[in-house]
Amino acid sequence: MRTGRSSRLSLIIISMVIAFGLLVGSQLGILGPLQGLIATPIGVIAGVFNRIGFAINGNLDQVNDLEVARQRIAELEDRLAQFQSELVELREVASDYDRLSRLLNYEGSRQNEDYLTANVIASDDPNTLLRTIMIDRGSRDGVTRGMAVVTDQGMLGRVLRVAAGASQVLLITDPSSAISARLQTSRTQGSVVGDLSGNLTMTFIPLTAQVNVGDLVMTSGLGGNLPSDMVLGQVTSVQQFESELYQEATIRSLNNFDTLEIVLIVTNFRPVDTSTFDDNNALDAEQ
């Protein structure tokens, strides 16, 4: 036991002597070379730990920057979606404004006619073979059967049926539609009818009449059912048949019937009642 205690005491005394010697040596500068020798590996080790620390800090900064970038991207995506929605609305407003401006200009060019604006709310009636559209104006708006319906590109059709708040319009492309017409340039008269393919044909054109591709076809007003000089379409081809007494012209309407949205109803024109001049009525009156 005493031997163990003596050894520990001796070790403590030796350590104190060495520490004191190192302290004195350091103060006197004797240990300078030794300190430099020891400092070199310590500096290398410290440099390694510093680089590791910088790398860890850099990675943490990158992680933080990535999270910030993700948040920024999410914000920009939300703003982009909002701007796209607003752009769609603005384009729709601009499109409506353009259509209404054209219709207003058309109204201004037809000084003797009054118009009522209507929206197209349905297309062809699936329950019938008729080519029709439905509009959101009816009898309470002053709409009556037979009124002409137009756009700035020309005539669309005539009111076929009327309800309180809506009306059905028979398009000029329907096979049952027949309109007295004339060529704008030569004033040659004929009749424009629709067909099953949705096209228009001008019939009963005299064989001697000059018909050119590109000629505009207008309503003639004959019969008193429609206003005159409303555009029906443009001649695209002419057919002559030796066995027929008349020639025919294929007409292309300037309207796109598949994209109708806003139309005009001619409200101040009233069809002329010619029934009193019917031959049968006249004979009955004479009797």
Domains of the chain: 115-271 (2.40.10.350)
User: What integer is the mean pLDDT of 187-208?
Assistant: 90
**CA-CA distance, 122 to 131, in Å (whole number)?**
11
C-alpha 140, offset from chain centre: 32
Mean pLDDT, residues 9-37: 60
CA 193 to each of CA 37, 68, 173, 199, 203: distance values in angstroms, whole numbers, following the listed order: 112, 68, 7, 9, 8
Q: Which two tokens stand for residue 142?
A: 């002053």
pLDDT of residue 285 exceeding 50, the answer is no
State mean pLDDT over 116-145: 87
How confident is the prediction for the chain on average, in pLDDT? 77
Residues 8-31 have a mean pLDDT of: 62
Q: How far apart are CA 151 and CA 70, in angstroms?
A: 52
Rounded to whole angstroms, the Cα distance separating 208 from 214 reads 18
On the question of pLDDT at 145 being above 60, the answer is yes
Note the pLDDT tens digit of each residue in 73-109: 878 777 777 777 666 666 666 666 565 666 666 666 6
pLDDT value at residue 37: 52
- Asked if residue 139 has pLDDT above 80, the reply is yes
The residues with which 167 forms a beta bridge, in sequence order, are 135, 162
Q: How confident is the model at residue 159 (pLDDT cuts 50, 70, 90)?
A: very high
Quote the tokens at residue 231: 């555009």
Q: How many CB atoms lie within 10 A of CB 28?
A: 9
Q: For residue 266, what is the enclosing H or E element?
A: strand 262-266
% of residues, the chain, pLDDT over 90? 34
